[in-house]
């Protein structure tokens, strides 16, 4: 979810025969900031794979390492938000027929299967965490079906900036440029705004020009162009 408020919508996406249905738990849909937990775990496992290991689905780490890497600060509220993220990630269920790692899964699952606080001090802070990733996400990581991201991604504070960076990274990649119509971009971004408001948001992001490796432009006929800064 691009919202930082509790979002309990059931989402369904369909494209070229592939379907995904996302059903939130009591705590709502995971936010785009909660995704940082998955990125951190994926990076952790890929590092092990690059060293010739076959990592477990269960990832154990010091919470402060996660907070430091993702630019979240080390105050008590940061630890609590981390715990809230784990609740949303484990509570949300996904049904999909998308193939990952040459395995087609047509059943419901969570983004993470299990989480627990490994150690908690007298103040209630989660000092260390243990997370068991879903088989679906684990397959994607083992099969290297993930893209690298700019480390400054975590500095992006606006939800839509993060989403646009992800879209640009996937579709533009290392190409010189990539184009998409504004209404289709709105669907890809998952924005619930009306098109006029979405257009305003895009123009604001264009003016700020903070999209790291990419620049964005919007033509009068609502064609959005992502340009790779390195290829200009």
Per-residue pLDDT tens over the stretch 218-229: 999 999 999 999
Per-residue pLDDT tens over the stretch 180-196: 999 999 999 999 899 99
Please say if the pLDDT value at position 104 is more than 80: no
Q: How confident is the model at residue 119 (pLDDT cuts 50, 70, 90)?
A: low
Please say if the pLDDT value at position 156 is more than 70: yes
Q: How confident is the model at residue 109 (pLDDT cuts 50, 70, 90)?
A: confident
Please say if the pLDDT value at position 120 is more than 80: no
Please say if the pLDDT value at position 10 is more than 90: yes
Question: HSE (CB half, 13 Å, CA atoms) of 69?
Answer: 16
Report how far apart, in Å, the C-alpha atoms of 103 and of each of 19, 43, 81, 140, 178 are: 15, 22, 34, 10, 30
């Amino acid at each position: 979810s691009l919202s930082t408020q509790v979002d309990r919508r059931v989402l369904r996406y369909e494209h070229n025969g592939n379907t995904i249905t996302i059903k939130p738990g009591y705590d709502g849909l995971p936010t785009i900031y909660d995704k940082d937990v998955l990125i951190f775990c994926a990076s952790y496992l890929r590092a092990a794979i690059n060293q010739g290991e076959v990592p477990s689905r269960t990832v154990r780490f010091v919470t402060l390492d996660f907070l430091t890497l993702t630019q979240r600060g080390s105050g008590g509220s940061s630890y609590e938000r981390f715990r809230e993220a784990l609740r949303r990630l484990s509570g949300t269920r996904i049904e999909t027929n998308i193939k990952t790692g040459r395995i087609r899964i047509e059943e419901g699952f969570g983004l993470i299967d299990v989480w627990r606080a490994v150690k908690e001090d007298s103040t209630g802070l989660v000092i260390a965490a243990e997370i068991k990733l879903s088989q679906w996400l684990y397959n994607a990581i083992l099969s290297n079906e993930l893209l690298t991201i700019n480390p400054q991604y975590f500095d992006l504070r606006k939800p839509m900036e993060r989403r646009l960076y992800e879209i640009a990274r996937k579709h533009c990649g290392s190409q010189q440029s990539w184009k998409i119509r504004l209404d289709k971009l709105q669907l890809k971004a998952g924005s619930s705004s009306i098109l006029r408001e979405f257009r305003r948001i895009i123009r604001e992001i264009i003016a700020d020009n903070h999209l790291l490796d990419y620049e964005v432009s919007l033509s009068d006929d609502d064609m959005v162009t992502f340009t790779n800064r390195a290829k200009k």
